[in-house]
């Protein structure tokens, strides 16, 4: 048995070496929340150990954000300073590695007017749109979520604060494969398996995907030239990296005007600290024509009504129900974990990298090729033990992809 400190060191090492894969002489930018400080300090040390030139930590505090959302003038919430935009663009120009250490406090923003929250989120994604897109296609990046007391209290509400935190750390280590004998080797093997599944699906040349489950009967057309991704990416300099830890998904994009039918979420969505339960959508020719939720409807509405593209889907991701997160059967109120528990779809923007050559296409070219454009990208979970997904290829062949929520093909 390793001690907690040893596990935390290993977690930081895996994040630096396999996750973002810091390379020699590279600058590293870490956007971090205060609750993750103990992990962040180790991450800085491991980044230097991996050869970082310089590591810059940009600290954030959720409670300061709450005060701002409640008290700042409405204009200020929608006014992103130019220096922030310039900083992010400079980091991409310098090909800095980007790490987000996301330690959320669930429901912290529940008393903030959803319109104010939405306007701040929209302004920030608009201002950072270019640097975020460039970062994804040009550099290596990573999102991780270490356990925090606030998060643990939400996941384990009946345990004492100490027990809840201990239990959540145990989960984080297990779900991120830190409990394996050699976590770095385990990660390399796991990401290779996902990459092989993604390659198989790309070679299938799928025309449509049919999702069938309780409350779900949805047909997704996939655009010509779509590419399935999984198990990580390659930065412009050729470095392999795994941008999400944990990751269990293989994903591509639906054709923006080619989605028809109904779909029901199988897990609540936690967005901006608000929980949206039992989302139901109806889509026609790619557009969400009806939507409902049992709670958090206003939040769902602000997501769907962000802009023209937020009425359409931009991602279709497959996760087998035998992934460690799905097996845990627990809701983590944290998209990074929950999206890897389950097949999901995203409302909003498609990743340019989901199309062959997409990263070199203009916005108009992406739209013409069927890739949805929006300022937002919000995943919602639709996987379960009752979900079947069947593909139909361009040659008419039917290929079972998931049966009762599990992979139905071998690689
Ligand atoms: Zn995804
Ligand atoms: Zn997504």
Give the per-residue pLDDT at 156. Answer: 96
Q: Measured in angstroms, how far is the CA atom of residue 342 from the centroid of ligand 2?
A: 12
Residue 234 pLDDT level (bands cut at 50, 70, 90)? confident
Mean pLDDT estimate for the chain: 94
- CA 258, distance to chain mean position in Å, is 23
Indicate the pTM of the whole model.
0.85
Q: Measured in angstroms, how far is the CA atom of residue 30 from the centroid of ligand 1?
A: 22
Distance from C-alpha of 155 to C-alpha of 167, rounded to nearest angstrom: 9
Q: What's the average model confidence in pLDDT over 74-88?
A: 97
* pLDDT above 90 (res 70): yes
Question: DSSP H helical segments within 128-182, as ranges?
Answer: 129-138, 149-155, 161-175
pLDDT greater at residue 237 or residue 59? 59
Q: Measured in angstroms, how far is the CA atom of residue 315 from the centroid of ligand 2?
A: 6
Burial of residue 381 (number of CB atoms within 10 Å: 0-12, 13-18, 19+)? buried
* pLDDT above 80 (res 273): no
Owner of token pair 């990401």:
191
Q: Measured in angstroms, how far is the CA atom of residue 317 from the centroid of ligand 1?
A: 5
Phi, psi of 218 (to 5 degrees): -130, 135
Of 64-68, 105-109, 256-260, 283-287, least confident by mean pLDDT is: 105-109
Report percent pLDDT > 70 for the chain: 100
Q: Measured in angstroms, how far is the CA atom of residue 49 from the centroid of ligand 1?
A: 30
Give the per-residue pLDDT at 236. Answer: 83
What the chain holds in terms of domains, given with CATH numbers, is 4-175 (3.40.1830.10), 183-407 (no CATH)
Give the per-residue pLDDT at 333. Answer: 84
* pLDDT above 80 (res 233): yes
Give the per-residue pLDDT at 235. Answer: 84
Give the per-residue pLDDT at 272. Answer: 79
Each residue of 28-47: pLDDT tens digit?
Answer: 999 999 999 999 999 999 99
Q: What's the average model confidence in pLDDT over 310-329?
A: 93
Q: Which residues pair with 390 in a beta bridge?
A: 210, 400
According to DSSP, residue 294 is labeled S
């Amino acid at each position: 048995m390793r001690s907690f400190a040893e596990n935390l060191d290993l977690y930081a090492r895996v994040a630096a070496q396999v996750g973002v894969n810091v390379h020699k002489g590279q600058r590293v930018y870490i956007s971090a929340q205060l609750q993750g400080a103990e992990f962040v300090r180790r991450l800085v040390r491991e980044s230097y150990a991996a050869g970082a030139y310089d590591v810059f930590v940009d600290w954030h505090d959720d409670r300061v954000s709450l005060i701002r959302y409640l008290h700042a003038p409405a204009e200020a919430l929608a006014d992103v300073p130019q220096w922030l935009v310039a900083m992010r663009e400079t980091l991409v120009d310098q090909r800095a590695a980007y790490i987000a250490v996301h330690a959320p406090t669930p429901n912290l923003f529940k008393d903030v007017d959803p319109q104010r929250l939405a306007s701040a989120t929209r302004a920030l994604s608009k201002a950072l749109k270019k640097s975020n897109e460039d970062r994804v296609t040009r550099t290596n990046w990573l999102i991780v979520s270490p356990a925090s007391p606030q998060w643990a209290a939400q996941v384990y509400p009946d345990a004492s604060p100490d027990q809840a935190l201990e239990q959540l750390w145990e989960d984080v280590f297990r779900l991120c494969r830190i409990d394996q004998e050699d976590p770095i080797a385990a990660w390399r093997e796991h990401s290779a398996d996902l990459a092989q599944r993604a390659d198989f699906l790309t070679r299938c040349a799928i025309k449509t995907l049919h999702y069938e489950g309780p409350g779900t009967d949805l047909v997704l057309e996939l655009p010509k030239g779509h590419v399935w991704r999984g198990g990580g990416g390659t930065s412009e300099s050729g470095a392999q990296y795994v941008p999400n830890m944990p990751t269990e998904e293989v994903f591509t994009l639906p054709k923006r005007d080619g989605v028809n039918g109904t779909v029901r979420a199988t897990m609540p969505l936690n967005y901006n600290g608000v929980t949206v339960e039992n989302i139901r959508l109806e889509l026609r020719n790619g557009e969400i024509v009806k939507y409902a939720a049992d709670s958090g409807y206003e939040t769902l509405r602000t997501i769907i009504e962000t802009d023209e593209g937020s009425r359409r889907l931009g991602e279709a991701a497959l996760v087998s129900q035998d992934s460690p997160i799905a097996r845990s059967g627990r809701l983590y109120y944290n998209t990074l974990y929950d999206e890897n528990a389950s097949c999901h779809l995203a409302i909003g923007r498609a990743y340019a990298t989901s199309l062959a050559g997409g990263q070199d296409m203009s916005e108009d070219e992406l739209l013409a090729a069927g890739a949805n454009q929006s300022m937002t990208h919000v995943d919602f979970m639709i996987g379960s033990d009752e979900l079947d997904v069947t593909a139909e290829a361009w040659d008419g062949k039917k290929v079972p992809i998931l049966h009762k929520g599990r992979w139905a093909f071998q690689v």
